[in-house]
Structure formats: structure tokens, C-alpha cells
Structure 1
Amino acid sequence: MSVTQVKIALSGGPAELALANRSVDAGALENTLKIRHGAGYEHFVHGGEFQAVDGCDIAVFRWSHRTKIAE
């Protein structure tokens, strides 16, 4: 079974997270993307937006909120 990887871009949230080249499984476009950052998690959602970069469609995940790691 082959899983398709989709390139993504992060919009909003901490600036340093947007700098990394990232990709996710195509099925993850329907889920909230949770990225550990500092003492918490940054949450991003894909609302169906894509942008063309160098001839490729990149899925845009927009920042939605931050949660703290439970101690």
C-alpha cells in the first residue's frame, strides 16, 4: 500500500515553525496538525487552501490555537 505525501506550508503561529520544509500523509489534510513547540503544542488546520510554489500545489495549514503540555 502506498501513502501519498503532500507538501504543506504553515501560516500563522510561531515564525520559526513556518521555515521548515514539511509534508504529511494526504489523509492528514482532514485532521488538525499538532506540532510540539517549547512547552506546548501549536495546532494548525487545513481549510482546503492550496498555493502554487515552483509549479507544485502546497497545502496551507493555518494556525488555530496553542495548548500547554500537562505536567
Structure 2
Amino acid sequence: MSDFEVLLVGGPSAIPEAERVQLSPSLTEKFKYRFGAHYEHFVHEGQFSIVGDKRLPIYRWTRRTAIAE
């Protein structure tokens, strides 16, 4: 099984543009992106965007959680 390239939209503006495209193992599960001392949570709601020559699923930001120690 291969990973999917996805586009992260929303969340902290400090997330570098170069890190907005990530690999996700699934299009149906939430995606957690570690950013500083938090996880930013993103979900795919069926939308897509063209990035370069690729059609990528859009994962929209939903919330932030602290990393447990």
C-alpha cells in the first residue's frame, strides 16, 4: 500500500509552505502534523487542489492538541 501526497490547508501560518505537502497513509483518517510542542490535526472532506502538475487532496485544519509527556 502506498502513501498519498496531501495538501495541508489552514492551521498556524508559521507552518512553512514547503511543508504543506505531506504523505498520508489514508484519505479517510485524520492527519496529525507535529509542529513545535503540538500536533495540528487535519481532515480530508473530499476537496482537491492542483499543485504544480498534481491533483492533491486538501486536508483542512481542525484543531491543535498538546504532545503528552
Fold shared, TM-score > 0.5 on shorter chain: yes
Quote the residue 2:61 is aligned against. Answer: 63
Deviation, 1:38, is: 1.2
Q: Size of the alignment, in residue pairs?
A: 67
CA distance in 2, matches of 1:40, 1:55: 32
CA distance in 1, matches of 2:34, 2:4: 20
CA distance in 2, matches of 1:54, 1:19: 13
Native 8 Å contact 1:11 1:18 kept in 2:
no
Deviation, 1:7, is: 1.6
Native 8 Å contact 1:11 1:61 kept in 2:
yes
Quote the residue 1:23 is aligned against. Answer: 23
- TM-score (ref. length: structure 2): 0.79
Unaligned segments of structure 1, at least 5 residues: none
Native 8 Å contact 1:7 1:24 kept in 2:
yes
Q: Secondary structure in 2 aligned to 1:29?
A: coil
CA distance in 2, matches of 1:50, 1:29: 11
**Same amino acid, percent of matched pairs:** 37
Return the index of the structure with the highest Cα Rg.
Answer: 1
